[in-house]
Amino acid sequence: MRIRTALHAVARSLWLALWGLVSSVLLFTLAVCSIALIPAGVGVLTAPYALKAVRHHANQRRLYALEWSGVSIPVPYRPLPERGGIAGHVERLTALLKDRATWRDLQWLLVDMTAGFALAILPPALFLYFPWGVVLACGVWRPIVEAGGNEWFAFLHITGQTSANLAAVLGAAFAVIGVLTAPALLRAGFVLARQLLHPGHERELEQRVQRLTETREDAVDHSAAELRRIERDLHDGAQARLVAMGMSLGTVEALIEKDPARAKRLLAAARADSAEALTELRDLVRGIHPPVLAERGLGDAVRALALRMPLPVEVTVDLPGRAPEPVESAAYFAVSEILTNAVKHAGATLVRVDLHHADGMLRAVVTDDGRGGADAALGSGLRGVGRRLGAFDGVLAVSSPAGGPTLVTVEVPCAVAAPAAG
């Protein structure tokens, strides 16, 4: 398992080195040129799109950092004006240029294409020494040397079969070093990005106060809406059935001596109504707080939820104990909504759920192999999940490129209590 994780780190480092370098260079050039051309008028049109693309690239790196190395990088961006037209376009450009996070993003791009590239390319470069050393040892050194070539393998000068064999051994050593250091170097690159993208202390406090104000209002609205839903479900469901059952029993009392056969039919119907009312009450209670969640905890509750899904759901749980009940409930319903979306809209054939707790954070990562294209800003369900998590200072991040896969990460700060002994 550790070797496989290290090999994954090598592959991810290669991806970050190649695609990250290309993206960072192109976006940095486009953004800087657009800003420089603002006085000429051209930049007014292009700069907002360029800076939004930079933010998208930075957010993608934040998701990679969290998913691949467990490095959390806060999202510090201020909301942009949504007014349309030319005036709204200019307002968005002004807001982007006034936001200090924009300039931190540009600084990060500059470092990412230099120091970040060096950290990312080192593990795959060391790993690729091994196949080249084997190729040389298999005889490829001969035509090179005989043609007058001056072949060096790192610091080793290749002059014959012996030195070529040593190159294969040295390449194997380099590959081992590259594989063993890949996870640490990958994490180092993400930590470097966090140092550059992380908002300042004052801005972080400002964001936290603003977020707590918004989430408090959302929590009040959500509680009121939930209460209205429960009242409506009781009135339209179980209450109506119980009233009907009472009326049926009253009719039975009047008919039990005059028409016993009809009385029996009414009793059977009343019994069926009572069973349906009980089922509706159980469903209502499960919607408020599932019994398995209260009794067994978040891990078993999500496993039970996965069993009810109409498509395969693989659940991995690594929780050393139980989180506070409100946090468990919020995380459970977040995973439930995400799985429901995957079933209804993603066209997925397999969903994976990973629950774990690390660095004071409860994280749930849900990945599906569907068509992608999910957007938390457009779906009312995901927006509701985000608001519910916000009451606990939690976040929801969605990465869903067209064609998939879709990765949704839920993160809630909390402590986990170890289970009681005995």
Together in a domain, 308 and 395? yes
Together in a domain, 271 and 304? no
Together in a domain, 158 and 222? no
- Confidence at residue 172, expressed as pLDDT on a 0 to 100 scale: 83
Number of structural domains (the chain) is 3
- Residues linked to residue 357 through DSSP beta bridges, in sequence order: 362
Q: What share of the chain is helix, strand, coil (3-state, %, to 5)?
A: 70, 10, 20
3-class SS of residue 361: strand
Has residue 205 been placed in a domain? no
Together in a domain, 393 and 270? no
Together in a domain, 183 and 232? no
Together in a domain, 231 and 268? yes
- Confidence at residue 24, expressed as pLDDT on a 0 to 100 scale: 92
Q: Last residue of some domain: 230, 255, 288?
A: 288
Together in a domain, 45 and 186? yes
Has residue 186 been placed in a domain? yes
- Written as tens digits, the pLDDT of the chain (422 aa) is 678 888 888 888 989 888 888 999 999 999 999 999 988 888 888 888 899 899 999 988 988 888 888 888 887 777 777 777 777 778 888 888 888 888 999 999 999 999 999 999 988 888 887 787 787 777 776 777 766 666 767 777 776 777 777 777 788 888 888 888 888 999 999 999 988 888 765 555 665 666 666 556 555 555 555 556 556 655 555 566 666 667 767 776 666 777 777 777 777 777 776 766 666 566 555 555 566 777 778 888 888 888 888 888 888 888 888 888 888 888 888 888 888 888 887 777 888 889 888 878 888 888 888 877 766 555 556 677 777 777 777 878 887 777 778 888 888 888 877 655 44
Has residue 419 been placed in a domain? no
- Confidence at residue 279, expressed as pLDDT on a 0 to 100 scale: 63
Has residue 170 been placed in a domain? yes
Has residue 104 been placed in a domain? yes
Q: Last residue of some domain: 141, 169, 197?
A: 197
- Confidence at residue 422, expressed as pLDDT on a 0 to 100 scale: 45
Has residue 169 been placed in a domain? yes
What crossing angle do the helices spanning 260-288 and 201-233 adopt, rounded to 10°?
A: 180
Has residue 420 been placed in a domain? no
Together in a domain, 305 and 253? no
- Confidence at residue 227, expressed as pLDDT on a 0 to 100 scale: 58
Together in a domain, 271 and 354? no
Has residue 235 been placed in a domain? yes
- Confidence at residue 323, expressed as pLDDT on a 0 to 100 scale: 82
> Is 327 buried (19+), middle (13-18) or exposed (0-12) by CB count in 10 A?
buried
Q: What is the DSSP code string of 158-218?
A: --SHHHHHHHHHHHHHHHHHHHHHHHHHHHHHHHHHHHHHSPPHHHHHHHHHHHHHHHHHH
Distance of alpha carbon 414 from the chain centroid: 18
Which domain range does residue 391 map to? Answer: 297-413
Q: Last residue of some domain: 138, 168, 197?
A: 197
Together in a domain, 275 and 220? yes
Report the CATH number that the domain containing residue 353 is assigned in CATH. Answer: 3.30.565.10
